[in-house]
Structure formats: C-alpha cells, structure tokens
Amino acid sequence: MATIPLTTPSPTQAHVIGLPIDMRVIVIAGPGAGKTFTLLERAEAIRSLADVGTGRVLVLSFTRAVVDELRKRDRARGAATPILVETFDSFASRMLREYASDETWQRESFDGRIEACTNLIASGALDDYLEELQHVFLDEVQDLVGPRARLIRELLGTYPGGFTAFGDPAQAIYDYADDSNGEDDILSSPVGLQLADDEVILEGNYRMADPARAARTAALHRSLLDDPLAAAIELASEIASLPIADEDALAHDGPETTAILCRSNVMALTISRRLWERGHAHRVRRSSVDRPVVGWVGALFGASAALTEAEVAERMGQLGAIGFPGLPAPDTAWDLLCRADPEGRRRIVREQPVRSRIIVGRVPWGFFEPPSSPLTISSVHSAKGLEFDDCIITDWDAIAAARPDEEARVHFVALTRARRRSFRMENNEHLYKWSRSGGRAFKQGPQTWQTFGMEILGDDVHPLDPCGGLVLRSLDAKTVQASLISSVRPGDEVVLKLLGEHAFGARHLPIYRVLHLPTLLTIGVTSERFGKDLAGRLKWSREAGNYPTKPSGLSGIRIADLETVAGPPANAEAAGLANTGLWLRPRLIGLGEIHWRL
C-alpha cells in the first residue's frame, strides 16, 4: 500500500488543494510526488465547506490508500459525510442497482457492468443524480482503458460540476496490455483535455529515502514526458546498470518486502516455479481485475446460518491454530462481516445477506484483500500503484520492442516501485514458445498446432460444484471441505487428471479432477472455461465430430489461494453439505505441462 508521508503541502500542492470547488482540473503527478496526500487534503478542504451536502462529493479510485484513509476519517467523525468513496467498478454497480430498469446487469462480468453503466449515463437516466453532485475526484486516471475510460469520459461529459483528476502519462501502461488505441485517454487525448479547465504538474519525490535516486527518478520522469523514444534508451541503460540480485536478496527474516517484477505473466509464473523448486515461499500477485473473495469468510461460516462476535473470535482462533492462510485480526474480520450485513446491527452476521452481497459484488474491499507476503512475484502491470522495500527487475529487451515508448513506461513503473533498492535478474528462460490466445497462454511445439502446455488461471476450478461432489458422486464433499480448511495451503502441488467429458449446458467438454498431491485427495473439478479453452486449442468438438486424443493430465500446478464461493444452497445440499450458499474452492496457478499419459 502506498505511504502518505507528507504533513505540509508544497506550494504547488497547496494551489491544487485550494482550487474552487467548481474547477475542472487535471493534476499530473509523478511517482512519490504526493498525489495521495494532495487528493486527501483537497477532499478535506471541500468537506469543510458549509454548503456541501451529504454524499455530494464522489471519489473514484483504484488506490486502496485513498479509499481506506477517507473511510477511516469518516468513521472517526461518526457523522454523515459529504464524501462517498468508491472504486470505479463499485460505482458502476451502485448506479445500475439504483437506476437500471431491470436486473439483467447482475449476470454481466465486471466489464459488462461498466459498459451497462456507460449506456445508462448516455441515456440520461443519471442526469438528476449527476446534477446534485458538487465535486468528483478521479484517481490514477492513466490506468483507465477500454470500458472504464469510456465510462469516465461519458461521466465527465455529462456531469456539469467540478472535478479533480489525478494521473501520470509516464505511468500509463495498461493501454499496451489491453491493445487500446489511446482515443479514450483522459490525460492526453483531445477529448480528455477538452473536459478540463486547467492542468497542474506536481513535482518532487517524497517516497525514496535516497535524494540522489529521487532526483534521478524526477529526471527520467521529465524525459518520458518530453521525449519518450530517447527515454526508452535511457531507461534500458538505467536498468542494465543495476546490481544483479543473488539468492540472499530472496531470504527474509524481518518485515522487509521484496518484489520480483516481470514483463509478462508467463515470466512471473516461470520464476515462481523455479523458486518453489528451490524452497523459496512467495506469492504471485494476481491481476487487478481478478478479485476472489478471501477464503476465511467461507471457513468461518461453515454450516452456520449466523455468527456472533464471540463466535467469530473463537473460530478465528481455531483457524489460526491450524495455519489457515490470510487471516486478519478477529476485530477486523468482525468489522468486515458487519459491513457485509449492516442489518445485523453489529449484533449478528448472517450467511444469507453476506452471500447475496458477494454474488453482486457489494462487499467491503477487505473481502478481496490478498494475503501479504515478504516475497512477491508480479508482472509490472499487476504491481502498478504498489511499493516494496526492494525490487528485482527481470531482463527483457525493450529497445527491440515494436513500441519502445510504451516499453519505456513499463520500465519506469518497474524502477519506481522500490523505496530502498532496485536490482536486476538475468533472464535465461526461453519463453518464445508461449503465446496468448483467448485470455491465457499456451506452449506450442515446433508446429503451431502442437500444444505442450497451458497457463492455469485462478477460476479453472468449477465454482458452482462444491468440491466436485456433483460430478463425482463418490466424493464426500464434507471431507473435502474439511481438508481445504485444515490441509490445503498455498504452494501445495496439484495435478489435473482426466475424468472424461461433461455436459456444460448443450456442449460437451473435457473435465479433470484436481488431485492434491500432499493428501492425494480430489479437491475439485475443472470449470467450463478451462474445458472450453483446452478444447478450443486442441480443436476438439464432439458436436462437430472432431475427436483428437484428450490429454490424460496436467502437472506443474500449485495452489494459489483458497476462495470463498457464493452459490445456490441447493448445490451444496445436493453435494452433501449443509444447506448453505458459501463454500471453499481452491484457486490454482502455474504453467501446466500437458501429458498424454499421466
């Protein structure tokens, strides 16, 4: 999480803080320039105005530091606040919930909900609501691409009042990942600039302890803004001059944090495999749009329809005693559960309201918080907005890339994640055989049609089949759930073993059991998406009469986390569990090696 070290604003920060409430301004803030501090102080200044009504100031942010700090201040006041703090996705869901004419949006993906909200604004359905807003804050707007950029462009084009949009074009890296053509860029496109009255640049670096590093970072930032192509060469040279990391950099006896930053997710997973083989425990940072609900929620409820604060504390103690991963403090867990069931009035939390909120995504952000780890492996994109004590940057050839200016921005983001020191890691892995198709990577052979490996995604285990008990009738779902709680841990090895075909609706797809190697228990079955992606890659289709041999299994896979799934209570009951709609499923990770005989 980003730090908020400042207490006294610089002259430029003070200028932004004191701008009139109806001013429409874009604030360019480089890494460590005090963007979060300035946003919070400007929000406080607007909050103090006498004529600002409750809920009339909207803050939309990707950044947990902003969301958490504003909510903490509101709870400390204990009174109605004019500031409403939301993520971009939660804002879209709230608008649909309150203003959509039907509930079809609830079946949409995150991107689908964003697009539905954009259409809702364009239709005029939100005009009265937007007229009542007195100011809108937007954070990290350079990260808005695709549907989210179009949502905010539509919002700002319709909303008549003042806004403060914070961002940094030098850190705009998601357009590269998502193949955006940049037309929706709020910071630099003609459309974006036409929406604002003024632009202000915050300079300085208050994050880095070393003044020389801070000055060098500021110079690189200016170079990126002025001449991106020249900056690409400069940044590649800067990274090439970093000291090479050794095994000692991965050992952790204290609270320090280290991140290994990679250009691609395939590289991150390759390094992860290597580190597990060498005995280095770690976490792989998931994508910002991959938001599973933490496992402790489902583990707490079990078969209970409701819990009291004392019961939560007791069960948290029991889970802690068996080493259940990612547990918060009992009082934090209770607070999050109460916020997911406000009608329980902090006397009791009930499974049904919590389940309903999980299904529609109306849960506290802490339900999505991944467990912390001293050692993190991440793509540069997934590490965006985060800070670590030390960072190790893996080598990649940015100068030879098709768009070196965008590679320069990726390099810049990687270089500015470390508070203390940056290193580099020589890359001897050959990843040319991995290519992306349909949202995941596949390893191909000498012939493009040959498939030797498959990237494993977090949702590759069936979400609505508790522990595989609906497909494998011989499975005891209670035993599997108990094993997930007591014995299945991040980093454990699993293999996928072919069961055969399964009818997912009208289509028959290959389905595999998930075999947990430490216990030799089946802990789930693969999902429809997994079967569809594998069948699509192998050109396998029962309906079309194509019957190539199905792989007998996949190895090289590990447990990433345990996830709480919210689904129909009837499914749990049919699988032999209590009549509850919350259960656990394992989330998998790795570059699966395909075997024709396993």
Tokens for 153, please give them.
């462009």
258 shares its domain with 350: no
Cα–Cα distance, 357 to 18 (Å, whole number):
38
Number of domains observed in the structure of the chain:
4
Cα–Cα distance, 264 to 410 (Å, whole number):
11
**In Å, how far from its chain's centre is CA 64?**
11
Contact 393, 242 (CB under 8 A): yes
133 shares its domain with 26: yes
What string of pLDDT tens digits covers the 598 residues of the chain? 444 455 688 899 999 999 999 999 999 998 888 888 899 899 889 988 867 877 789 999 876 667 667 767 666 665 556 788 888 888 998 999 999 999 889 888 888 999 999 999 999 999 999 999 999 999 988 888 889 989 999 999 999 999 999 999 899 887 544 444 455 566 655 445 578 888 899 887 777 778 888 888 888 998 998 898 899 889 989 998 999 987 666 766 667 899 999 988 999 999 999 999 988 899 999 887 788 999 999 999 987 889 999 999 999 999 999 999 999 999 999 999 999 999 998 999 999 999 999 987 778 888 988 888 899 999 998 888 788 999 999 977 655 566 788 888 999 999 999 988 899 988 766 655 888 887 899 998 888 778 899 999 999 999 887 777 667 777 788 888 999 999 999 999 999 999 988 888 778 889 999 999 999 999 999 999 999 999 888 887 665 555 567 899 999 999 999 999 998 888 777 777 777 889 999 999 999 999 988 6
- For 512, the 3-state DSSP assignment is strand
Which pLDDT score is estimated for 450?
A: 83
Residue 588 bridge partners (DSSP):
559
476 shares its domain with 590: yes
28 shares its domain with 147: yes
Contact 214, 32 (CB under 8 A): yes
Tokens for 142, please give them.
């350079």
Residue 26 bridge partners (DSSP):
165, 199
Cα–Cα distance, 93 to 4 (Å, whole number):
29
362 shares its domain with 278: no
Cα–Cα distance, 214 to 233 (Å, whole number):
20
37 shares its domain with 162: yes
List the Cα angle 69/74/78 in 5-degree steps.
145
**Domain range holding 588?**
434-595
| Full-model pTM | 0.85
359 shares its domain with 473: no
Contact 152, 88 (CB under 8 A): yes
17 shares its domain with 150: yes
Torsion of CA 426, 428, 432, 438, to 10 degrees: -60
Considering the domain boundaries, does residue 483 fall inside one? yes
Cα–Cα distance, 517 to 208 (Å, whole number):
44
List alpha helices for 146-303, DSSP H. Answer: 146-158, 174-177, 190-194, 211-226, 228-240, 265-277, 295-301
Shortest CA distance to 457 belongs to which of 530, 516, 517, 509?
Answer: 530
Cα–Cα distance, 96 to 474 (Å, whole number):
42
| DSSP letters for 549-565 | PPPSEEEEEEEEEEEEE
386 shares its domain with 337: no
**Helices 211-226 and 228-240: crossing angle, nearest 10°?**
150
Considering the domain boundaries, does residue 326 fall inside one? yes
Considering the domain boundaries, does residue 560 fall inside one? yes
398 shares its domain with 443: no
Considering the domain boundaries, does residue 561 fall inside one? yes
Considering the domain boundaries, does residue 5 fall inside one? no
Place of tokens 């280290």: 258
- Give, in order, the Cα–Cα distances in Å from 184 to each of 161, 165, 176, 226: 20, 14, 13, 21
Helix count (H) and strand count (E) of the chain? Answer: 20, 22
Which pLDDT score is estimated for 491?
A: 95
Cα–Cα distance, 411 to 263 (Å, whole number):
9
93 shares its domain with 225: no
Contact 292, 317 (CB under 8 A): no
Q: Is 204 left (phi over 0), alpha (psi -120 to 50) or beta?
A: left
183 shares its domain with 197: yes
Which pLDDT score is estimated for 369?
A: 84
Contact 371, 363 (CB under 8 A): no
Which pLDDT score is estimated for 126?
A: 95
Which pLDDT score is estimated for 471?
A: 74
Residue 565 bridge partners (DSSP):
583
Counted residue by residue, the chain has a size of 598
